[in-house]
Each structure stands twice: as C-alpha cells, then as structure tokens.
C-alpha cells in the first residue's frame, strides 16, 4: 500500500494529515500490519491536550497492546467514534480510518516529521 504523499509520518508509525490548523492523526499501514487484527482502540476525550512525542492512547490487537504517540502538540477537537464499535477499520483502511483530530498548537512541528518517501525508506530499513 502506498503512503499518501500529502501526509507526514513519525518513526512510531503514526500519520498526520494537515488542513490549515487542524491535524488528523492515524496509524500507518505498516503499523496495522505489524499489529495484526485490531480489536480495541483507546483514545483521549475531546478537549485533551496532546504533546508531541508523548502517548495519547493505545491500540489493542490479538498480538499486543501498543501505545499511540502524538506527532504534534495540540488540543483534541474530535475522535473517530466509529472505532469504538469497528476498530478493525484501522486494519482495512489504515490511511483513512483516522483516530483523532487536533488543533495544532505549533504548526512548525509538522516540519520535523517524515515525508512519505522518508517514511518508506525508514520502514524498509526497519524490516
């Protein structure tokens, strides 16, 4: 699966789509593939403050529980409620099944994230 070139990526395998001052966060195809079948997603509440590089939730699969790391600092404005009843959407649609939307506190943080090409290179080295 190709990584959307308009997204930014972290070495912890999260993606970030930016639209103005709003960031949408999910996990990459590589992450969901490594995890296996996802059975539960724990997300923060609307209004929670995320800090870049810090955990903001977990993804539970049949194999393990993995932390989610915020790619940027910001305030949660929405959570993907559909994942409460259909967490498997993260497996079937990793680059559209977003987890949280945030208002960016520091838009310049986006510049420190990986491009799709850099992320693909990072994943290739990790395998």
* Beta carbons within 10 angstroms of residue 75's beta carbon: 14
Tens digits of per-residue pLDDT, 21-67?
999 999 999 999 999 999 999 999 999 999 999 999 999 999 899 99
For 9, 36, 70, 89, the CA distances from 112, given in Å and listed in that order, are: 9, 29, 13, 28
Domain architecture of the chain: domains with CATH: 8-105 (2.40.50.100)
Q: Quick one: CA torsion of 23, 6, 97, 40, rounded to 10 degrees?
A: -70
On whether the CB atoms of residues 94 and 34 are closer than 8 A, the answer is no
Q: Are strands 100-104 and 22-27 parallel, antiparallel or unpaired?
A: antiparallel
CA 56 – CA 21 distance, rounded (Å): 19
**Which two tokens mark 77?**
């404005």
pLDDT tens-place string over residues 65-123: 999 999 999 999 999 999 999 999 999 999 999 999 999 999 999 999 999 999 999 99
The pLDDT confidence band at residue 126, using thresholds 50, 70 and 90, is: confident
> pLDDT band at 127, cuts 50/70/90?
confident
The predicted-structure confidence for 1-21, as pLDDT tens digits, reads as follows 789 999 999 999 999 999 999
- What number of other Cβ atoms are within 10 A of residue 117's Cβ? 11
Please tell me the predicted confidence (pLDDT) of residue 18.
98
Which residues, in sequence order, are CB contacts of 42 under 8 Å at separation 6+?
57, 58, 59, 60
Please tell me the pTM assigned to this model.
0.96
């Amino acid at each position: 699966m190709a990584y959307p070139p308009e997204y930014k990526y972290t070495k912890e395998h999260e993606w970030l789509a930016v639209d103005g001052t709003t960031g949408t966060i999910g996990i990459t195809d590589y992450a969901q593939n490594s995890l296996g079948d996802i059975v539960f997603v724990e997300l923060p509440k609307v209004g929670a403050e995320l800090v870049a590089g810090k955990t903001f939730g977990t993804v539970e699969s049949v194999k393990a529980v993995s932390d989610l790391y915020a790619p940027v600092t910001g305030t949660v404005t929405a959570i993907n409620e559909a994942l409460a009843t259909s967490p498997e959407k993260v497996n079937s649609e990793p680059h559209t099944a977003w987890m949280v939307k945030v208002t960016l506190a520091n838009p310049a943080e986006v510049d420190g994230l990986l491009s799709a090409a850099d992320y693909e290179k990072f994943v290739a080295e990790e395998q």
